[in-house]
Chains A and B, each alone.
Chain A
Amino acid sequence: MTIPTMLEWIESTQLSIAIREGGLPYPIIGGVHLLAIALFGGMLLAVDLHLLGWLMPGRRFSEVWHQFQPGKRLGFVVVSVTGLLLAWAEPVRLWGSPSFWVKMSLFALVGVHALVFRATVYGHPEKLDAGITPQARLAATLSLILWAGLIVSGRLIAFDASFEPASTSEIRSMNHAVSTAALHQES
């Protein structure tokens, strides 16, 4: 099975059609995706900002970590499941969207980040109670950058010209050519 036929098969499934053409399901799943980003993002921020010494500096890291870990995990699952459902609805368009690939690469880096810093930071939070190590600060900084990058690339998917169906993307690029020409005239 080639990739294009597989993407087309996904688009032809009942689930894909229901999300894409059902009207309400798409924005509802998108809304849950956003809410989970807020929940997961809030907890992730709390942990990272604590490691940087900017949030609840008086508390021990292991306490902060254990306090937010269950919520972080739940938020991550909800973000991933709703994200997968949104992708299931339009795999062909996403395949052609550069921002989607940036987002997936960053997503892969989130996994690399977790593996790399497991030994020094996240695997033994108690070890950081005595003092936050430079590795831990690096882990927190990279985590914040990845988080911001995921939000930016995720948002950019909606603005990729290739994300639009072929017919409208042609119209859009025509409009864009017209508006760019108008801009040049103005300036």
Chain B
Amino acid sequence: MKILIVGGGKTLYFLCRNFTAKGHEVVIINRNLEECVHLARQLSATVVCGDGSDPKILNESGVLEANTVLAITPNDQDNLVICQLASIQFGVSKAVALVNDPDNAEVFEKLGVSAFSTTRIVGSLIEQRASLEQIINLLPAGEGLVNVTEIILDADSPVAGRLLKDLDLPENALVAVVIRDNQPIIPRGTNQLLAGDRVVLITLPENHGPVLKTFTGEQK
């Protein structure tokens, strides 16, 4: 696959290293001559020095043969124009833009450009980790095909006080054990869940998030 990346900095460097290691052909466009020299020395990629939003530079960089164009400069307006030129003028099938301002993700989609916001991605990852403080144990089993998770139900848990059979559990999930006052209970549908219970859940990676949400509720 031939990938054209416009931008600079560490993100570009490591992305490019990652792509070339996987055997992809990478072309970099960067405005800064010094950085270009540095990149060309350290990476096995073609480096073009110039403005990536200039159709002439894009053309010279071989955009016509590129499968993918990534625009990851620190300026949203440049990333937008680069992707639009790539897809409209040069017919590149996949052009993806980084949006520095997360609000621009929706704006770009409206203008027909696929966009992602690192701020949003990192933010949601941190939230996921931080919000699941009730998880005390997470164990992948069967080479990661199954997750075994132990959580403590707090008083705010939407399932506290409810019967197991009344839970609206996503498919392919199981409450394996409930530990109450150090006594393990292999539960049946008629068992009630209480705040303070330690619950061992069996989930699959694809339903892990929704299942956990059933037990911990929406976190603020």
Q: Do A and B bind each other?
A: no
A residues bordering B, Cβ < 8 Å? none
